[in-house]
Structure 1
């Protein structure tokens, strides 16, 4: 059962595609994600976000909001409601931009962890529940779906979102420990969660607007 779950996760995970993208600067960024480029002097402005977001066909859950024509605010929400929702920023006019041009948003990372813990407390994610049943006892990693490790292996620290203690096949949410090395954007793309965690995160982000 767990093997089938891992196989399904592996099959559905999506890395950024370079074949079809609606916006040329985004295509350039995706093509060069793995290139170690110097970080540009990007001025982040938390206002004047456009209402019409750009999208990437390979990640329909991701939206790019233009900020004053200078940068893209990367978000899981189609409309913009506040800077806390932003996963990070990209230069809007940077041909040849690469991974190091991505500016992560620490506040989003905080919300991500808070949302994940709430989802585990409410038992909203089948994948994490099944993983705990398989493990029975010990520490279990919550991996980013963008780069799942082979079965029985530990993933890259950049792709381990957090760890939780499992006892008698059940997750103990109060033991949730964020992985300090986790990155919201790597050469494999931006954050990609399992279905239950993703739904809870979107709900959490929308609740920040009220």
Structure 2
């Protein structure tokens, strides 16, 4: 859009940061409680008659004005270069009338019902009094299936040195596959929200056929969306690209 093209680099970066604030914070909506409680929150103001263009981090609240988009736009998160926001027009799983941001690890815009979409965030509200937070994030169930498929295959193919070394150190027993967004202290068990799966280790070897997805795992928390160790992240990326190509 012409207006976006005129923005300086500094403002463009901060625009991306405000988008990411939606995935990293949960602020109570009137008569609704956020999914999780946070120690900090952000405020985001949206320009009217425009899609959401975040420009600055503030404290306390996330507020939005009525806004719409006339064309698709995509943004890369400045703190997570692997994370992309794709503006999609309604209808979406969030609203039949308002646009939304599809979060994806792919830089190319996804199809409307793509399994490669991590989830959706509202890009606009119908009221200036509405507030948004982590409870507004809508997970894509299809992505969760792909996530576990990629991780299990990655463990089977031994693509991740961190998981391999973890199994060697454990020797025997059940090993958790943790989300890298919130790594537990050495020798401690991570938060249930951040334990992606568990797998049996025997004699320092991972038994991928014993892979068990953890139902308590959350795709997006106050620490952000899914973040995998390098080898597993590459495996997931390859699977997402393959699936996106098949869905075209």
Superposition TM-score, scaled by structure 2 size = 0.68
Greater CA deviation, 159-168 or 94-103? 94-103
Partner of 1:176: 211
Give runs of aligned pairs for residues 150-161 of structure 1, distance below 5 A.
150-161=185-196
**Can you give the 5+ residue segments of structure 2 that lack an aligned partner in the other structure?**
1-12, 34-69, 90-97
- Equivalence for 2:101: 72
Change (3 A) 1:55 1:21: farther
1:146 and 1:188 in contact (8 A); partners too: yes
Classify 1:180/1:204 alpha carbon distance in 2 versus 1 (closer, same or farther; 3 Å). Answer: same
Structure 1: where are the runs of 5+ without partners? 1-19, 40-47
Cα RMSD, aligned residues only: 2.1
CA distance 1:129–1:197, shift in 2 (3 Å): same
- Are 1:62 and 2:93 counterparts? no
Q: State the secondary structure of the residue aligned to 2:211.
A: strand
The reply on whether 1:139 has 2:170 as its aligned counterpart is: no
Pick the structure with more strand per residue: 1
* Larger radius of gyration between Structure 1 and Structure 2: 2
With over 3 angstroms needed to count, the CA separation of the structure-2 counterparts of 1:172 and 1:81, relative to structure 1, is same
Is the counterpart of residue 112 in structure 1 residue 111 in structure 2? no
Deviant stretches of 4+, over 4 Å: none
Supply the distance in 1 between the matched residues of 2:224 and 2:242 (Cα, whole angstroms): 25
Kindly indicate whether residue 109 of structure 2 is the aligned counterpart of residue 84 of structure 1. no
Deviation at 1:140, TM superposition (A): 0.1
State the TM-score, normalizing by the size of structure 1. 0.80
Structure possessing the higher relative contact order (Cα contacts under 8 Å, 6 or more residues apart) = 1
